[in-house]
A and B are shown apart, each in its own frame.
Chain A
Amino acid sequence: MKFPRFVLACTAGLTLCAAAAHAQLTVEITGAGANRLPVAIADFAGERIVAQALASVVRADLDRSGLFRLVEAGGALADTATPPFEDLKTRGADAVAGGSVTTSADGRYETRMRLFDVPKQAALGNPTYLHTGTQLRATGHRIADFIYEKLTGEPGVFSTRIAYVVKSTGRFELKIADADGSNDQAALASREPIISPAWSPDGGKLAYVSFEAKKPVVYVHDLASGRRHVAANFKGSNSAPAWSPDGKQLAVVLTKDGSSQLYVVNADGSGVTRIATSSGIDTEPRWSPDGQFIYFTSDRGGSPQIYRITASGGNAERITFEGSYNVTPRLSPDGKSLAFIARNGGRFQLALMDLATKQTQILTDSAKDESPSFAPNGRMILYATEIGGRGVLAAVSSDGRVKQKLSVQAADVREPAWGPLVR
């Protein structure tokens, strides 16, 4: 049994909450990086089942990232002994990690881990984690994050969570899972569609659009308590929520004054301000990470293209020019690149633009890509696509090399949103 981190919200008009069919996301690696760093993860010492489970989580995380190649460690790494560097060198390992799991007096576990640079024969760190049995996987993810950061210089995202929507017959579920697809829990179940989930910058809340009122309404849902409130329910449609970097406001799309236009509301639903005006459609707003700009999709130039305005308003600047359909702008966490969906000869594909050079690369060869979402370290982009007529999630590295497929058996998965880093 896992600790219930989320309270399932069964609202009036929503049913089937109790029948939580367990359909976990499975991750399949479909492409890996060109130069993967060879790393050995030794078996952890301690109670066999626990220690093995821990090491397998660490290995699976590192392998899935596409940046590492796992090599045999050839035995456990004792807590104090010097690792067998010469042997590891022969095995081709550039780094080695290992450790132990012991039971402390209160029944919790104490996990110690040591990481070494093999060629330099130098210690890279030795963190200790105190955790319960139910936190075993989480501890494995934290160890993998530690190794990833020490070896790549970038923060790892194995401890982060993802949100997505699963559609099965007559039922929509807003799910939260660990980044590896495990530990999934439903935050909301409904007979009506749920779209556009967006994580608050602190990772505690999700804003989303639910159609349970026979029209789109924007909610803010607190994940720890399961409580939610209406953030935008004006006359007409309410959609496309995006959090300001400080988590205090939401950019939303409202039609209360006619066509779909951009507004900002406070996260509690108070104080609505219009931030742009066009005669056509403005939608899909996203703040730049520095809070300076709001990127959005608009048909003001005759076809849907990506524009930006300064967050305080002002003139719109057009960002995309190639092709007649460029939508769903998503800024990388460093603000330097823009992921979006481009239509190329009838195919909708994930594209990535370097904002400084405006150079654009198509990252996929699929045809129905939607809803890109950056990992919080910017390395991977999670998106929805279709394989064999079924909705699946896929992830691709920003260089296009590492590829993963995340699917659920016998259901459509869509609308992914990668949560922020947990510190």
Chain B
Amino acid sequence: MRAHLISLSALTLLLAACGSQPPAPEQNPAGVESRTPGPVRVATPPVVTKVQPADKFDPGSIAALKDPRSPLSKRSIHFDYDSYVVKDEFQALLTAHGKFLAANPKMKMLIQGNADERGSREYNLALGQKRANAVKKALALLGAKEEQVEAVSLGEEKPACTESTEECWAKNRRGDMLYSGEF
């Protein structure tokens, strides 16, 4: 079998042409391509190791997002089975992120909700969305603006753990918070 391959540059043009048709007004006009302009983006969050902890720790600074001493460097909220309620143990973490978003109104956040693998992929996508929505709602109560935060779901498609065990499923029932530049 031999498939004809279109070069990447030709395809970029082609996709640009595709994007020129009028989408619905609310739709992201440039489509997905605007989110990933460069050649290859890897799904993993930015590497933390290169960040040198500043001598003076400023909990409200952007550097704090990647500073392991800051709660802002922690980005995952875990949920119980069949539950979409943010547990008490994550309240302090959410408070730190909510206050940070309120203090940095230009910062944007993508919340990716996830579900364990059991059952329908599309239904699990909806369950992941419920988790992302719960995180978004909690952040809004802490001062994050509607336009700053987008709640989306990855359903069961991006598991943090791939074994079919209760321990693994628990790791996959989570919401991840990504800031501008990380998605």
Q: Nearest-CB distance from B79 to chain A (Å)?
A: 15
Of B1, B33, B43, which is within 8 A of A192 by CB? B43
Option from A9, A268, A281 in Cβ contact (under 8 Å) with B130:
A281
1/0 per position for B1-18, CB-CB distance to A under 8 A? Answer: 111111010011011011
When the two chains form their complex, are residues A22 and B122 in contact, meaning their CB atoms are under 8 A apart? no
Contact among A6, A14, A215 for B112, CB-based, below 8 A: A215
Least CB distance from B103 to A in Å reads: 23
The number of chain B residues touching the other chain, given as a range, is 35 or more
Q: Which of chain A's residues has its CB closest to B118's CB?
A: A348
Is A228 part of the binding interface, using a Cβ–Cβ cutoff of 8 Å? yes
Q: Does B47 contact A (CB under 8 A)?
A: no
B3 in contact with A20 (CB, 8 Å): yes
B18 touches A227 (CB 8 A): yes
Q: Which of A27-35, A92-100, A257-265, A287-295 contacts B (4 or more CB under 8 A)?
A: A257-265
Residues from 240 to 297 in A contacting B, C-beta threshold 8 Å: 240, 253, 255-256, 258-260, 265, 268-272, 281, 283-284, 297
CB pair A284 B120 closer than 8 Å:
yes
Contact of B123 among A18, A216, A327 (CB under 8 A): A327
B119 at interface (Cβ–Cβ under 8 A)?
A: yes
B121 in the interface (beta carbon within 8 A):
yes
Shortest CB distance B87–A (Å): 20
Asked if A370 is at the interface (CB within 8 A of a chain B CB), the reply is yes
Q: A253 touching B122 by the CB < 8 A rule?
A: yes
Interface flags for B97-111 (1: CB within 8 Å of A; 0: not) read: 000000000000010
- Could you tell me if B3 and A186 are in contact, using CB atoms closer than 8 angstroms? yes
**Which residue on chain A has the smallest CB distance to residue B37?**
A12
A288-342 with Cβ < 8 A to chain B: 297, 304, 325, 327-328, 341
Give A228 to B16 CA distance when docked, in angstroms: 10
Pick the contact of A230: B32, B120, B133 (CB < 8 A): B32
- Provide the residues of chain A in CB contact with B158, threshold 8 Å: 193, 211
In the docked arrangement, what's the CA distance between A361 and B23, Å? 43
Q: Determine if B157 and A297 form an interchain contact, defined as CB atoms under 8 angstroms apart.
A: no
Contact across chains for B112 and A214 when beta carbons are under 8 A apart:
yes
Stretch at the interface among A73-81, A104-112, A119-127, A231-239: A231-239
Partner of A370, one of B3, B110, B121: B121
A339-355 CB contacts (< 8 Å) to partner B: 341, 343, 348
* A159 part of interface (Cβ distance < 8 Å): no
Given contacts A8-B5, A230-B32, contact A283 B123 (CB under 8 A): yes
Residue in B4, B14, B120 whose beta carbon sits within 8 Å of that of A328 in the complex: B120
Which residue of A13, A240, A389 is within 8 Å of B36 (Cβ)?
Answer: A13
Q: CA–CA, A226 to B155, complex, Å?
A: 27
Q: Shortest CB–CB separation between residue B144 and chain A, in angstroms?
A: 15
A341 to B150, CA, bound (A): 31
Query: Which residues in window 36-64 of B have CB below 8 A to A?
Result: 36-43
Contact of B11 with A233 in the complex, beta carbons under 8 Å: no
Q: Does residue A48 face the partner (Cβ distance < 8 Å to B)?
A: no
Distance in Å: Cβ of B160 to nearest Cβ of chain A: 14
Given A214-B43, A236-B150, is A259 in contact with B133 using a C-beta cutoff of 8 Å?
Answer: yes
Indicate if the CB atoms of A370 and B12 lie closer than 8 Å: no
Given contacts A236-B150, A259-B126, A327-B120, contact A226 B6 (CB under 8 A): yes
Residues of B that sit less than 8 Å from A by CB: 1-6, 8, 11-12, 14-15, 17-19, 21-24, 26-28, 31-33, 35-43, 110, 112, 118-123, 125-127, 129-130, 133, 150-155, 157-158, 164, 178, 183
Sample (22) of A-B pairs whose CB atoms are under 8 Å apart: A18-B5, A185-B1, A192-B43, A195-B122, A196-B122, A213-B35, A217-B31, A229-B31, A230-B19, A236-B129, A236-B152, A239-B122, A239-B125, A240-B125, A259-B129, A269-B22, A269-B27, A271-B24, A283-B123, A327-B123, A348-B119, A415-B121
Additional A-B contacts beyond A14-B40, A233-B27 (8; CB < 8 A): A8-B5, A8-B6, A15-B39, A193-B158, A211-B157, A236-B150, A259-B126, A328-B123
Q: Sorted from nearest, which 10 A-B pairs have the closest CB atoms?
A: A230-B31, A215-B152, A260-B126, A213-B32, A193-B157, A13-B36, A281-B126, A327-B120, A269-B23, A213-B35
